[in-house]
Every structure is written in C-alpha cells, then in structure tokens.
Amino acid sequence: MQSGSVLIVGGAGYIGSQTAKAAARAGLSPVVVDNLSVGHDWAVKWGPLERGELADADFLRGVIERHKVTSVVHFAAHAYVGESVAEPRKYFRNNVAGTLALLDAMLDRGVKSIVFSSSCTVYGERDADAGPISEASATEPCNPYGESKLMVEKIFRWYAGAYGLRWVALRYFNAAGADPDGEIGEDHDPETHLIPITIAAALGARPELGIFGTDYPTPDGTAIRDYIHVADLADAHLRALAYLQGGGTPLALNLGTGKGSSVKDVVAAVQRQSGRKVPVREAARRAGDPAALVADARKATEVLGWRPQHSDLDTIVRHALAWAQRPRS
Ligand code: UFG
C-alpha cells in the first residue's frame, strides 16, 4: 500500500478520474484540482474537489498546503489535435504556461515528484511500416498539442537538474474503454474518438460512423491505433508514483499494448459486443492522421512491472458499451 496525499490535477476528466479511483484503492488520499471546463464533478468520488485554475500558482500553493500534498499527477491539458493547429496560443498557454505555474507551486512547497500525462503525439509522423514506436524513436511532433507535451517533458529535464524535480512522463497511445465497475467513463463534448462514436452509431444515437480513410497502406486500408484501457493507464500512474517514491530516476515511458487495431477491427468488435450492425460511410482521411501508431511498451513493463490487464479490444469495447448504456437519472 502507498500512503500520503496525492494531488490529481485534471482529476475530473476521463483518465484523471480513473486514476483518482486507483489512487484511493492503493491507499493514497487523492485531492482533485480541476476547473471543470472539460471534466465533470460527478467523476470526483474518491476525495475532495478543489475547483480552480492550473495557471493559478497561489491557489495551487494553498491546496498543496491544506492537504499536505506529497506528490502530483498532472492531466490538465487541452487535447484536441485539430484545434491545436487552429489555436496554438490556447495550447501553449494552458498546457505549457499552466504547467509552469503548477511546477512553481510544487517546488515552492517542497513537492518534488510528478507523474505527467504525455502522449504518443510527441513522436510525430512515421512511415506506416516503421513498426512499433519505442521511447528511443525521434520526437518530432507535427501539431501544437504534441509539441506542448514534449515541451513540458523538456522543462522537466532541466528542472530535475536544477531543482531535483523527480518525474515520469507517460506517453499514452489511444486511451479507451471505461471503468470496469461502470462507475465512471468517457464523456467528451464534442466527442471525436473512434470507439464512443462507433458505439453511438451501433446504438442509433448517431446516424452512422464515418470511416476516415480506406486507402491507407495497412492490411484493410483503414488506420491502425494501439488502444489501451483507461484502467490500465490508471494502474501505470500508480506504479509510476511508487517508482518515484522508491527513488527511481526520471524518464518517459510508452503506454500501449504493442498490438494495433484498424478502424474496421473496431467496427467488428463493436458489432460483436453489441449484437448490432454499425452503419458506416467511407469518408476522406482526416487531416493529420498517421496511418499506424503502435507502441513498443516493453520499457514500462521492465521499469514499472506494468502489464495491461483489460486492453484486448473486445474488453475495451465491452466496458465502453456498458458505460454508454448506463442508466441515467
Ligand atoms: N476515426 C474515424 N472516424 C471517426 C473518428 C475517428 O475513422 O469518426 C479514425 C481516425 O481517423 C483514426 C482512428 O479512428 O484513424 C482513431 O481516432 P481517434 O480520434 O479515436 O484517436 P486519434 O488516434 O486521432 O487520437 C488519439 C488521442 C489524442 C492523441 C492522438 C495521438 O485521442 O489525444 O491519439 O495521435 F493526440
């Protein structure tokens, strides 16, 4: 069991709330900071919610003091790739400048450990046949969102040297699924992600799924991604906190399964799990989408002992489907 008070910044969001649940289960006391611009107060169930801004260092210093915070997990970020290209100011101001305020508050109050929500987007464009992506692959983001994540990782490196900051950056591939117990799940507005959209099309909540590109150089012509269950992501964050507590050296780790699924594989899994046909329309490629992104996540297994437990595609879809069909009051 772990102990102490962990600040979960962005803890009312999809992955942050799942991590708050995992933290409570691991014996930690999670304290959520969120401005609820994207997150939901209903998703904060395992500790207090401190509503406020990431960029407000005074507010964060107060929260750290009041709750005797000893470590931080940081999720708060804008995360739409397309929007980041149109509005880079929003992305660099929040994701980078906001994180600087958080780091100021932490270091001013003697908190040195942070686990950071990074992204496979830091790697940028790749050839479809280049194979799984390891942490040694070149980092050349092709949009401001990925650039903002990489900039934060670079800031961590310099802060480690100068101030003794201890950090782990977790580079997720495609977060998916919902809480296996059905307590929390994905709820984005607008929803742009493949699995919830495919499920909505199967359930008749959307007229159809547009398949963005059927001429990719992949076996079935549709784009391939490495879908990783949100509960497996949450588990990795808890392991990363324990790793830092045990004196582990700072590093970036990929989180994925090493297995790619195409858009058509996802459609087939949703049809299997729902027993319904997904109405599809073949559409043009979405700008900026790479053909294939699959993780080489062996380092996370070596360093953290992390192994995905829920991340086969049918389990991911089953949990996401149960969440989409939850009774609503
Ligand atoms: N797709 C469709 N139709 C849709 C939605 C998506 O065909 O209606 C396709 C996309 O073109 C892509 C795949 O399904 O090939 C997965 O798309 P998602 O939008 O679910 O996920 P992305 O791979 O685009 O994005 C994810 C994360 C981002 C992160 C990015 C890194 O959600 O936060 O990976 O590439 F930045």
pLDDT tens-digit readout, 89-110: 999 999 999 999 999 999 999 9
Name the closest-CA residue to atom 16, ligand 1. 194
- Quickly state the pLDDT bin for 261 (edges 50, 70, 90): very high
| 100 Cα: distance to centroid of ligand 1 (angstroms) | 28
Q: Which of 14, 145, 172, 243 is catalytic?
A: 145
Contact indicator for 33, 50 with CB cutoff of 8 Å: yes
| 120 Cα: distance to centroid of ligand 1 (angstroms) | 12
Structure tokens at 16: 């942050």
| Segment among 22-26, 128-132, 231-235 with least mean pLDDT | 128-132
For ligand 1, what atom is nearest to the CA of residue 263?
14
Residue 81 beta carbon below 6 angstroms from any ligand 1 atom: yes
In this prediction, residue 127 carries a pLDDT of 72
pLDDT tens-digit readout, 116-140: 999 999 998 777 678 899 999 999 9
In this prediction, residue 206 carries a pLDDT of 97
- The mean pLDDT of 220-240, rounded to a whole number, is 98
Residue 207 beta carbon below 6 angstroms from any ligand 1 atom: no
Distance CA 19, CA 75 (A): 10
Give the type of residue at 41.
D
| Segment among 71-75, 233-237, 310-314, 324-328 with least mean pLDDT | 324-328
In this prediction, residue 128 carries a pLDDT of 67
User: Is 145 among the residues known to form the active site?
Assistant: yes
Structure tokens at 302: 């070596």
In this prediction, residue 124 carries a pLDDT of 83
Supply the DSSP string of 43-108, one letter for each residue. G--SS-EEE--TT-HHHHHHHHHHTTEEEEEE------HHHHHH-HHHHIIIIIIIHHHHHHHHHH
* pLDDT surpassing 80 at residue 15: yes
Is 5 in a helix, a strand, or coil? strand
Mean pLDDT of the chain: 96
pTM here is 0.97
Residues 6+ apart with CB under 8 A from 158: none
For ligand 1, what atom is nearest to the CA of residue 212?
7
H or E element in which residue 147 lies: helix 144-163
- Quickly state the pLDDT bin for 3 (edges 50, 70, 90): confident
pLDDT tens-digit readout, 30-56: 999 999 999 999 999 999 999 999 999
Name the closest-CA residue to atom 31, ligand 1. 121
pLDDT tens-digit readout, 59-92: 999 999 999 999 999 999 999 988 999 999 999 9
pLDDT tens-digit readout, 267-276: 999 999 999 9
- Quickly state the pLDDT bin for 287 (edges 50, 70, 90): confident
In this prediction, residue 1 carries a pLDDT of 79
In this prediction, residue 75 carries a pLDDT of 98
**N-terminal to C-terminal alpha carbon distance within the chain:** 36
pLDDT tens-digit readout, 151-207: 999 999 999 999 999 999 999 999 999 999 999 999 998 999 999 999 999 999 999
